[in-house]
Amino acid sequence: MQDGRDSESPWKASSDRQTEREAKRVAVLRTAARAFNETGYHNTSLDDIARRLNVTKPTIYYYVRNKEEILFECVRIGLEMLDEASNDVNGHGGSAYDELIVVMRKYAEIVTMDFGMCVIRVGEEPLTEESRRTLRSLKRGIDRKFRRLIERGIKEGSLAPCDPKIAAFTVAGALSWIARWYSPNGGLSAQDIAAQCIDLLMNGLGKGGPSGEVRPPA
């Protein structure tokens, strides 16, 4: 039975138009994130982003209000991806050690991607104080999840006793720094880099003495 609409009509259903618009908006944001990562936020103009997309500058304004909104959205998406990485793993079985490894692997992968890299290379500093507060709240949430996971590992004995706060800062800081120097054209893939960094973080550099403590330099 026909619903009265011409199947050949050039007008898309409202839901289809909304989906298409959102896809194009994400394309604008992703292109902008890539430009920010490569040349810096202040050195990237809306004209630059439009040229990369092969569209006019007014077209950009159909999806975003200004460059600041673009950066806010890029960082927000990156932080939400990092936050979701923990949600996908925490409490789904296995030891805290195993879960931490998976979260670290996902974290390292995300910071080598456009939005995740933008969190580290650009961040929230160019934004207004209100926008910075919103994004820093997301960062605190990610930090709390790292701490809780480490605390659980210490309690169950799968992780060595340590200060969860310092441990969380160290892990997130080391993995985040990958975004600063990672190059997709480098000799190692993002997965290889993540594996080596995680191995160093979990097992350390020193062999340690008979007591298991790291020996001081001679």
Which residues lie closer than 8 Å to 8 by C-beta, 6 or more apart?
Answer: none
Q: DSSP state, 64? A: -
Token reading at 106: 């996902």
Q: DSSP state, 186? A: S
Q: What is the pLDDT of residue 87?
A: 82
Q: What is the pLDDT of residue 31?
A: 97
Q: Do the domain assignments include residue 76?
A: yes
Tokens 């007591």 belong to which residue? 211
Tokens 């605190």 belong to which residue? 140
What is the model's pTM?
A: 0.85
- Angle at which helix 114-121 crosses helix 164-181, to 10 degrees, equals 110
Q: Do the domain assignments include residue 102?
A: yes
Q: Do the domain assignments include residue 121?
A: yes
Q: Do the domain assignments include residue 196?
A: yes
**Distance from C-alpha of 213 to C-alpha of 47, rounded to nearest angstrom:** 56
Q: Do the domain assignments include residue 94?
A: yes
Q: Do the domain assignments include residue 85?
A: yes
Q: What is the pLDDT of residue 12?
A: 60
**Distance from C-alpha of 115 to C-alpha of 31, rounded to nearest angstrom:** 10
| Enclosing domain of residue 78 | 67-203
Q: Do the domain assignments include residue 192?
A: yes
| One-letter amino acid of 214 | V
Q: Do the domain assignments include residue 99?
A: yes
| Count of the separate structural domains present in the chain | 1
- Spell out the per-residue pLDDT of the chain, length 218, in tens: 444 444 455 546 666 888 899 999 999 999 999 999 999 999 999 999 999 999 999 999 999 999 999 999 999 999 999 999 888 776 666 799 999 999 999 999 999 999 999 999 999 999 999 999 999 999 999 999 999 999 999 999 999 999 999 999 999 999 999 999 999 888 899 999 999 999 999 998 876 655 545 444 44
Q: What is the pLDDT of residue 218?
A: 43
- CATH number for 130: 1.10.357.10
